Amino acid sequence: MSILNKLRHKLLRREHDRDEHLAKYKKDRRAVRYLRSLIRKVSRRSEPTRMYDSVDLSQIPSDAPAAAGYVGGSWPTFKELKKKFPRARRLSIAVNASEDADALDIESGDATPDQAPDWVRRQQKRGVKRPVVYASASVMPSVLAALKAAGIKREEVRVWTAHYTFTPHLCGPHSCGFLTDTVADATQFTDTAHGRNLDESLLDKGFFS
């Protein structure tokens, strides 16, 4: 092989190696970008989430990560909430045990603790994974007792307490002490979030999973 051909062959080989390295570099960059986006998604899922609810949907921040609304009662907001917050995680709330929703509102004038077991079973039959029971921190032990007496295990439901300390927390033995045997999956800790007529809740990282 002449010197000229050897040089030509070496140049072609270098160009080929360069193209291979360039292709690998681009592939690696795509992989890095994908991994970074995956890490961001996983990180968001592993962090507690804030959820807002109000009878006046204009009070809820436009960038709310999660929002809740009522399916019935005096302020049926859920249908409009779905349109107004399409990107937010959404939770539907029933104000009485005859309604079907993701959550049951157990408080004076709405559902009662003894109505929770039948409501939970009905939602499970509808395909709702871990129906939510909402009650004040002082009433929730009665709700959990009613569920336990009916054979419904704690892990079958999500516990959403209302405890207005105005400090984000999940009710439990090591926070506020209202729940001694478990930790709430969510706690509504204020009704004046952002200085508005707005409820705000702290949600456990697995609340919507």
Q: How many CA atoms lie within 13 A of 162 on its CB side?
A: 14
Q: Which residue from 119, 116, 115, 113 is spatially nearest to 138, judged by alpha carbons?
A: 113
Q: Which value, in Å, is the radius of gyration of the alpha carbons in the chain?
A: 26
Q: What is the pLDDT of residue 26?
A: 64
92: DSSP letter: E
Per domain, the residue ranges of the chain are 1-46, 48-203
**Pseudo-torsion of CA 94, 154, 162, 123, nearest 10°?**
-10
Q: What is the pLDDT of residue 44?
A: 47
Quote the percentage of the chain above a pLDDT of 70: 78
Task: Please tell me the CATH code under which domain 48-203 is placed.
Answer: 3.20.20.80
Q: What is the pLDDT of residue 37?
A: 55
131/124 Cα distance (integer angstroms): 7
Burial bucket for residue 58 (CB in 10 Å: 0-12, 13-18, 19+): exposed
Q: Is the pLDDT of residue 82 over 60?
A: yes
Tens-place pLDDT, residues 151-174: 999 999 999 999 999 999 999 999
- Lowest average pLDDT, out of 45-49, 138-142, 159-163, goes to 45-49
Find the mean pLDDT for residues 137-141.
97
End-to-end Cα distance, the chain: 68
Find the mean pLDDT for residues 190-194.
98
Quote the percentage of the chain above a pLDDT of 90: 77
Handedness of CA 189, 193, 199, 202 (dihedral sign): negative
